[in-house]
Amino acid sequence: MSILLKTRPARQKPSGIVTKISMRDLPVLAARLASCNSEDPYLVSAAYYGFTGRNGLWTYEEEGKGFILFCRHPNIPDKTLIFPSVNPQGIDLTKNLLQNYFTPEDDLQLARLTPWDAEEAVTRLSWITQGYHFEVMDELFLDWLYPVHTLSTKKVTEHKGGAFNAFRGRLYQVDQSRIRVEELDIDKHYFDLLSLSMKWARDRADGQYTVKDMFEPNLHILRMARKSGLDMRGTVIYMDDACVSFSIWEMPVDKSRPASSAMMLAHGPSKGLSELQQLERCRALQDAGVERVCIGGSETPGLDAHKKKMAPVESLALKSVSVSSKAQIHAAAALKTPQ
């Protein structure tokens, strides 16, 4: 990643400061994000950045212009994700970050932009940067291939009406006499959650993903809940005294904002445990005075269909922007042109 390797030409004078964000810095980041606004709730969630940036997370900021965040891609080595600014000067910050700390040959991507913002970023950055080529694209690997959904905690708790038919049908499949629900106490529940996460990873691993691939992201969230100092809460479900499901979310600083789901896992002998966990999460949040919870987007159609069972009150489509070398694009085009 060039932020660690690049030597800037002497003629370039960096106009901003790059700061690495560790897990212990996340509460400070949360406090800074509390005064920011975004259509995408995850762009103002420190827990989201802490999770997605688990392989390295940084801020770039300039005096009077605010800051933007960027991180190593969680799944693709040497690729960098640059998030949109939650400040008005976002395009200028992105331009200066690209010109001063990266090169067009680096593997870069702008992440989590609305379609309109993605088009605007391509248009403006194409004019004000040198050597870069930008192109709007559908996300291929991460959680905004399908729309980001936000739920009403009240509506899910009540789950009335035709929109919740499928949801209620799954809940009926759970034998409630075997169920115990507990409020998350991360120190008390940590090893039960760790054990369930490992069992899930072992059962889900296949030729494409190893046990390590499946387990380590969950482990990182559990460590964040235990050590980061963020206001992360959750619910834990036991069936016949065995842990079968849990969810963890970041509480909003302002309860008029949505909570941000960090993790939800259900793995047990009964159908309907995922739906039960969604219900218990919304019930806990409603009791805490939080009216909405963002449950994110999805990488697969099946996961998106599951989230739609809860009748989202908001759904936000997002795009990515590929960032590449203009010279390489021109060279490739020249090779394809008949001589």
Q: Are 126 and 98 in contact (CB under 8 A)?
A: no
For residue 69, report the phi and psi dihedrals to the nearest 5 degrees.
Answer: -115, 145
Residues of the chain scoring pLDDT < 70: 1-14, 329-339
Distance CA 317, CA 193 (A): 32
Q: 139 in helix, strand or coil?
A: coil
Q: Domain check: are 214 and 244 in the same one?
A: yes
Flag whether 48 is in a domain. Answer: no
* pLDDT for 65: 86
Domain count within the chain: 2
Q: Domain check: are 171 and 291 in the same one?
A: yes
Flag whether 43 is in a domain. Answer: no
Q: At what angle do helices 186-204 and 211-227 cross, to 10 degrees?
A: 170
CATH number at residue 171: 3.40.630.30
Spatial strand order of the sheet with 107-113 comes to 17-20, 57-62, 66-72, 79-82, 107-113, 319-325, 132-137
pTM of the model: 0.92
Q: 283 in helix, strand or coil?
A: helix
Flag whether 127 is in a domain. Answer: yes
* pLDDT for 1: 45
Stated as kind and residue range, the H or E segment containing 298 is: strand 292-298
Q: Domain check: are 132 and 156 in the same one?
A: no
Q: Domain check: are 211 and 292 in the same one?
A: yes
Q: Domain check: are 168 and 272 in the same one?
A: yes
DSSP 174-235: S-GGGEEEEE--HHHHHHHHHHHHHHHHHHH--SSS-HHHHHHHHHHHHHHHHHS---EEEE
Domain of 123 in residue numbering reads as 2-21+56-141+318-336
With 0-12 / 13-18 / 19 or more C-beta atoms within 10 angstroms meaning exposed / middle / buried, residue 100 is middle
Q: Domain check: are 277 and 176 in the same one?
A: yes
Q: Domain check: are 249 and 109 in the same one?
A: no
Distance CA 224, CA 23 (A): 7
Flag whether 51 is in a domain. Answer: no
Q: What is the rounded end-to-end Cα distance, in angstroms, of the chain?
A: 37
Q: Domain check: are 135 and 184 in the same one?
A: no
Q: Domain check: are 296 and 157 in the same one?
A: yes
Length of the chain: 339
Q: Domain check: are 110 and 232 in the same one?
A: no
CATH number at residue 77: 3.40.630
Q: Domain check: are 14 and 159 in the same one?
A: no
Q: Domain check: are 76 and 14 in the same one?
A: yes
* pLDDT for 326: 80
